[in-house]
Chain A
Amino acid sequence: MNTSRKYLDPEVLARISRLDLKARLVVEGFLSGLHSSPFKGFSQEFADYRQYMPGDELKRADWKVYGRSDRFYIKEYQEETNLRAYILLDKSGSMGYGKKISKLEYAKYLGASLAYLLHRQKDSVGIATFDRRIDEIIPPSARRAKFMLILRAIEKARPGGETNLNEVLFELAQKMRRRGLVIVLSDLLDDPDGVLRALRSFRYRKHEIIVFQILDRDEVEFPFNESAVFADLEDGREMIVTPQLVQRRYRERFKEFLDFCHDSLLESRIDHTVLYTNTPYDKALIAYLQKRVRLK
């Protein structure tokens, strides 16, 4: 594995203590692997030439260089937009679940990485952390000082109480008056209909939304073998469960939940990506960049 790309592995990244460093390593590692550079070329600021490769659009070929050297070169530009991005980080109790790294940790690294990537591209980025209410909110800004505040806000996020996604998202939607890109990092473990309505409210305000639903594999597969007392991470209620008896039904129910989330969000033209806590970060970053491309 390329040295810089290894930091796309959440487990490897977890060993690094500084969040800003984590974010940088993720983004740099991610960018180093982008051979075909589909995400370059949309800015007006010239960056570099490179040789034409199959698949590149011919309209981007520099015909003057071709006339001089009889070779095809593509002009690359540095991206430069005035994109306003809001990262909404769910730090409710359920996000604290995870074996090697918790969902919240995964979300924090991903949030930091996205913030870094946005900041690196000179976009304005802000953040809001919340559980049953909004904990901290930093309005979007392209300034480095603000970026450092964002990283600090992410760093101090700890798993909280019960989720109240529905109301919190409504509240955030009202506060975000200027349209932009809303990046939701959450497990969406709340009333699916309520969450959907809240996310739609962003759409009504002309926001673009990308939802990263962060889950642990255990939540999907329920891979336990022994009877145990299961305690709910949010409301603390306990149940004695014999996994063999409930496993099949549980999986069916959870899949129904995921399918509902996915179908409903897509129907509302909201991008939805399921990320597991062992999913490399490049998947999320690619999803973000694809979204960004569509925003052009």
Chain B
Amino acid sequence: MMFQSPWFLLGTALAAVPVLIHLWYRRRLRKMAFPTLRFLRASEAQRFGWLRLRELLILTARCLFIIFLFLGLARPVLKSRLFAIGRLSSVYLVLDNSYSMAYGDNFKRMKKLAQQVVARYSSDSEFLIVPLCSERDRVLGTWKTKNDALDSVERLRLTYRGGSIAKSLASEPSREAKHEIDYVYVGDGQAVNFRDFPVESADNGKGNYYWVQVSTGTNIGISAVALKDPVTVAQDEYTLQITLSSYSSRTWSGRIGVASGEHYSERECRLEPFAEGSFDLDLPAQSLTGEVRIFDDSLLVDNVYYFCKVLPKKIGVLLVGDSPYLKHVLTSGTAISGSFDVQAAEALGAADLRKHDVIVLNGLLEISESELIRLADFQRRPGTGLIVVLAGGAGANLRESVSGSCLLGEAVLPKGYVTLEWIAHDHPVFAIFGESGALQDVQCYGYLRIEAEKGVLARLSGGDPFLVVRDNLAVFSTPLTPQHTNFVHSRAFVPVMLRLMVNLVTRQQRKEYRVGEVVTLPGTVRTPAGELLHPGDQLSMPGFHFHDGETLAVNVLPEEGDLRVMGPERARVLGVSGIDPQRDLAGSDLSNLFLVLALVLILVELALLWLR
């Protein structure tokens, strides 16, 4: 046992005071000769025994009270095998203020544990307080004294963000560390927090890595809230598809509800352990903004999802060039095709582009310079999309019109055909196909080679892109004719084209964001707390935000709801020593124990005084 304020131990000498008072009082008592003490002894023998015992007990209680009081003030601590007391180190103290710490009173417990950790170091140690989630990616930290570190821990606030320990440890201190470095992370140890943690940290010999474990529980969270059918133009109502994730080892049954304006509906849900499930809720077509809420769960804030949806509207399409298949797609009498207002033209010419939302250039070899300029203006308009279906070659202006997305190469005529080898299943355009293989039989007999660094949604065998989408521009490398591809006969052709058009038109109308994203919108964004965010600022809290008369919905990262923690095996691989607060920290500070004992002794004395 060690004492952090050993000078208080001198106070234990005051325990002699009650004894001295007792002896002085005894000496001060009048001595009387009396002949009939036998009657006192006879009648009160038992009672005198008790009174004498009581007197000794009271005296003992008083002495112990003083001893325990000063022992408590001397702040005794037990030595720990793993996390020794009085260490002299330079400590990187990474404090988990990510949103997952909102579980129960974990954040409060984390701060208390962090203060216990700080208290265990010697007064000459230095501390770099590193919040797991901060406004900036890299923080210039200053070394603090023990007392300042304790204050900093106390002032730390919970955020709604997710965190990365690796990123936090990249913080640059104001100067070199004076002592051996301890890296101490205090938090729930969510597996996602360690995703970028370097495996070689175990062997680099640059410091000791500790994880002070804040135990956490299980959770059910809302992973996504999306339009069930993002293509069809809604008539009276539309359907929200709510994806719930279970991070619990138990089957969960509960309710979810959606509230939008005066509309409210809810339904029962059930999730198997560690499973994901989608549940539909219908809303009136005019209810585009609202909240989805899970009931009966522990982590409260991720039980709410703020949504702000943009429903597909009737899209005006200008088909330029001969495109009977596309025309057939857009004008056939299906419910989906009813969402389009289609006009066809041989060339852009002098057509008024403002009337259209999507322009499809099908099989053109070149466009004029004025058309190039007009297309550029058209693309800059919000809610527009340009689809370029390349023919066997492309002129300079046409190449220029797609240069923001890709570079066009030479025409390719493969021997036989090439197949569609890969598609981006997670992209909204292809999301409905999943692993169904609807596009596996697509063949191309000739195409124009294109190069694109980003935005490739489909590739042909051999690696050449089939479809590139960037911003509101989509480029097909293959002419959509039966002579060049059987895609036009594929059952996936119609939905892919329709979803592509809707996606192009609506992608610029994004109204849902995640905490931690950087504001890119021009002007200012007003947070639910009334703060104004400017471009470059990070969104820091969930809720409805306001920008230029528009409502934006901001939600926490879904992964923060995943409370599964790094396991011991993973910790061993990463070279992180787990500190169990119960075993290695809790109870090591015996101050409270002794102060409570002192209080108990006061009560004992009062009880003894009362017992006559």
Contacts and interface: CB of A to CB of B under 8 A. Distances in A.
B34 interface: yes
Contact of B36 (A227, A242, A254): A254
Given A228-B30, A228-B32, A229-B31, A239 B39 contact: no
A129 interface: no
Contacts of B33: 96-97, 230-233
Interface stretch (B44-52, B59-67, B424-432): B44-52
Nearest to B44: A246
B529 interface: no
Contacts of A252: 43
A77 interface: no
Q: With a 10 A CB-CB cut-off, give which of B29, B33, B41, B44 has the most chain A CB atoms.
A: B33
Interface string A234-262: 10011111100110011011100100000
Contacts of A231: 31-34, 37
Contacts of B47: 245-246, 249
Contacts of A249: 43-44, 47
A239 B40 contact: yes
Interface in A173-211: 187, 189
A97 B29 contact: no
Contacts of B612: 245
A241 B41 CA distance: 10
Contacts of A237: 37
Contacts of B44: 246, 249-250
B40 A240 contact: no
Given A229-B29, A240-B29, A246-B47, A253 B42 contact: yes
Nearest to B25: A227
A237 B38 CA distance: 10
Interface residues of B, number: 21
A195 B44 CA distance: 24
B35 interface: yes
A226 B30 contact: yes
Contacts of A228: 29-32
A94 interface: yes
A257 B43 CA distance: 12
B25 to A, nearest CB: 9
B37 A230 contact: yes
Given A226-B30, A240-B29, A187 B35 contact: yes
B30 A233 contact: no
B43 A230 contact: no
B29 A189 contact: no
A239 B32 contact: no
A219 interface: yes
A93 interface: yes
A231 B35 CA distance: 8
A239 B41 contact: yes
Contacts of A187: 35
B26 interface: yes
Contacts of B38: 189, 232
Nearest to B36: A219
Q: With a 10 A CB-CB cut-off, give which of B26, B38, B42 has the most chain A CB atoms.
A: B38
A74 B99 CA distance: 126
A250 B40 contact: yes
B51 A97 contact: no
A295 to B, nearest CB: 32
Q: With a 10 A CB-CB cut-off, give which of B33, B35, B43 has the most chain A CB atoms.
A: B35
A240 B37 CA distance: 11
Contact of A232 (B26, B30, B37, B42): B37
A97 B37 contact: no
Interface in B593-612: 612
Nearest to A218: B34
B245 to A, nearest CB: 73
B121 to A, nearest CB: 53
Interface in B523-558: none
A192 B162 CA distance: 93
Contacts of B30: 226, 228-229
Interface string B1-44: 00000000000000000000000001001111111111111111
A2 to B, nearest CB: 34
A241 B33 CA distance: 12
Interface string B145-165: 000000000000000000000
B34 A233 contact: yes
A252 B35 CA distance: 17
A250 B35 contact: no
A253 B31 CA distance: 23
A188 to B, nearest CB: 11
Contacts of A95: 35
A187 B34 CA distance: 13
B39 A254 contact: yes
A229 B37 contact: no
A246 B32 contact: no
Interface string A158-170: 0000000000000
A90 to B, nearest CB: 12
Contact of A227 (B29, B34, B35): B29
A253 B39 contact: yes
A107 B584 CA distance: 81
Given A97-B33, A97-B35, A240-B26, A230 B51 contact: no
A229 B31 CA distance: 5
Interface in B267-300: none
Contacts of B48: 239
A292 B36 CA distance: 32
Nearest to A93: B35
Contacts of A246: 40, 43-44, 47
A250 B43 contact: yes
A223 to B, nearest CB: 12
Q: With a 10 A CB-CB cut-off, give which of A187, A226, A240, A252 has the most chain B CB atoms.
A: A240
B39 A230 contact: no
B408 to A, nearest CB: 112
A95 B34 CA distance: 10
Nearest to A216: B35
A230 B34 CA distance: 6
A249 B35 CA distance: 17
Given A226-B30, A228-B29, A233 B40 contact: no
A161 to B, nearest CB: 13
A250 B43 CA distance: 7
23 contacts: A187-B35, A218-B34, A229-B29, A230-B32, A230-B33, A230-B40, A231-B31, A232-B33, A232-B35, A233-B34, A234-B35, A240-B26, A241-B40, A242-B51, A245-B47, A246-B40, A246-B47, A250-B39, A253-B39, A253-B42, A253-B43, A254-B39, A257-B39
Interface of A: 93-97, 187, 189, 218-219, 224, 226-234, 237-242, 245-246, 249-250, 252-254, 257
Interface of B: 26, 29-44, 47-48, 51, 612
The 5 closest A-B pairs by CB, nearest first: A94-B35, A253-B43, A232-B37, A228-B30, A249-B43
Given A227-B29, A241-B40, A250-B40, 19 more contacts: A96-B33, A97-B33, A97-B35, A228-B31, A229-B26, A229-B31, A230-B33, A231-B37, A232-B35, A232-B37, A232-B38, A233-B34, A233-B35, A234-B35, A239-B40, A246-B43, A249-B44, A250-B43, A250-B44
